[in-house]
Chains A and B, each alone.
Chain A
Amino acid sequence: NAGVTQTPKFRVLKTGQSMTLLCAQDMNHEYMYWYRQDPGMGLRLIHYSVGEGTTAKGEVPDGYNVSRLKKQNFLLGLESAAPSQTSVYFCASRGQGVTGELFFGEGSRLTVL
């Protein structure tokens, strides 16, 4: 059982380039999340989705866009990457029930030069 899968795992971008991170889950979960994790800081919520076709802004949404066209996939886009977006990005999903545990993907390490 794959759980939550993120691609790519590593990426180096130049300032101004665009890219998309893909998150796929095979647990039929309704809720999906994109976080970023920076040294010395807690996980910060970028965007989240409570179901297919819905998205909402989290704590740090600026510079990112998301889409949830299919229930199993949650895409995170950077239209014009900036060095401040250098981070480790984690996708997570949660089953029905807002207090259920989160299942995380392995993370995507992004460096913006």
Chain B
Amino acid sequence: GQNIDQPTEMTATEGAIVQINCTYQTSGFNGLFWYQQHAGEAPTFLSYNVLDGLEEKGRFSSFLSRSKGYSYLLLKELQMKDSASYLCAPMDSNYQLIWGAGTKLIIKP
């Protein structure tokens, strides 16, 4: 079957760095997406990885290891507005996204 595993909740301090891990098992693989979702709002796109390695985009970076079925999202210089849920979503062989339940990130001053 297809399965996504990411922590339910994480807490971090403003200005710090946090890493949100995601492990996955899918039928085939066509890349992995990370989305951000603030409470009561729609998900918004953060990153897409299809090759192994680290992709950096400003304060956010995303890493992929296809052989390990593993990805992480790294958030630097945390701001209060980063309090949100972060959704890991690998794409299977049918080009459908398989969504994790999300990691709720709480930022404390």
Known A42-B100, A98-B95, A99-B48; contact A104-B43, beta-carbon cutoff 8 A: yes
How many residues of B are counted as interface, with CB atoms below 8 angstroms from the partner's CB atoms? Answer: 23
Q: Is the CB of A40 within 8 A of B101?
A: yes
Residues of B within 8 A of A58 (CB): 96
B102 to A: closest C-beta gap in Å: 7
Cβ-defined partner of A99 (8 Å) among B4, B30, B98: B30
Interface of B is mostly: loop
Binary per-residue interface labels of chain A (8-50) against chain B in the complex, 1 for a CB within 8 Å, 0 otherwise: 0000000000000000000000000001000011111100100
Q: Is the CB of A42 within 8 A of B95?
A: no
Cβ-defined partner of A43 (8 Å) among B31, B44, B87: B87
Interface of A is mostly: loop
Q: Is the CB of B31 within 8 A of A99?
A: yes
Q: Is the CB of A41 within 8 A of B101?
A: yes
Cβ-defined partner of B41 (8 Å) among A44, A99, A101, A106: A106
Q: Is the CB of A42 within 8 A of B30?
A: no
How many residues of A are counted as interface, with CB atoms below 8 angstroms from the partner's CB atoms? Answer: 19
A104 to B41, CA, bound (A): 10
* Cβ contacts A to B, 6 pairs, < 8 Å: A42-B99, A90-B42, A90-B43, A98-B95, A99-B30, A104-B44
Chain B interface residues toward A at CB < 8 A: 4, 30-31, 33, 35, 41-45, 48, 50, 87, 89, 91, 95-102
List 5 other contacts, CB 8 Å, given A45-B96, A98-B95, A104-B44: A42-B87, A104-B42, A104-B43, A105-B42, A107-B42
